[in-house]
Amino acid sequence: IGIKSRRVYKTPGGTLLREAHMDLEGICMDREVKRITEGMSNEFARLCYNGFWFALEVELMRNSLDFGQRDIVGEVKIELYKGNSITKRRSSPNALYNADLASMDIEGGGDAFDYNP
């Protein structure tokens, strides 16, 4: 008799791919979609674990999760060092962050002290 654990064992490549994918989700998915997807993923895993792979609700979740992943594309550079992985760079054509829009220097040369709400 053993203790069941839901961890990734003996698949370092799979662990790295998952980490890179989660990193891309962080720059390509908005907060609410990510929150809903995480909850749905947990329920999907529970149903599959309990043998409901061919159930209608699993098919619904599978299609929804696939739809949510359609914009998750890009590149992630990961450095491996002494059993750790460090994300060095990430890029995606579908990234939600735009450095030009986030900059205060674009519109008129004002500085941060000019802002009065």
CA distance 34 to 45: 16
For 45-104, write each residue's pLDDT tens digit.
999 999 999 999 999 999 999 999 999 999 999 999 988 899 999 999 999 987 777 766
Query: Per the domain annotation, does 39 fall within a domain?
Result: yes
Q: Identify the CATH number of the domain in which residue 35 sits.
A: 3.90.1260.10
The residues, ordered by sequence, that sit 6+ positions from 75 with a Cβ below 8 Å of its Cβ are: 89, 90, 91, 92
Q: What is the pTM of this model?
A: 0.71
Query: Per the domain annotation, does 91 fall within a domain?
Result: yes
| Tally of domains in the chain | 1
Cβ(41)–Cβ(62) below 8 Å: no
CA distance 72 to 110: 35
For 12-43, write each residue's pLDDT tens digit.
888 899 999 999 999 999 999 999 999 999 99
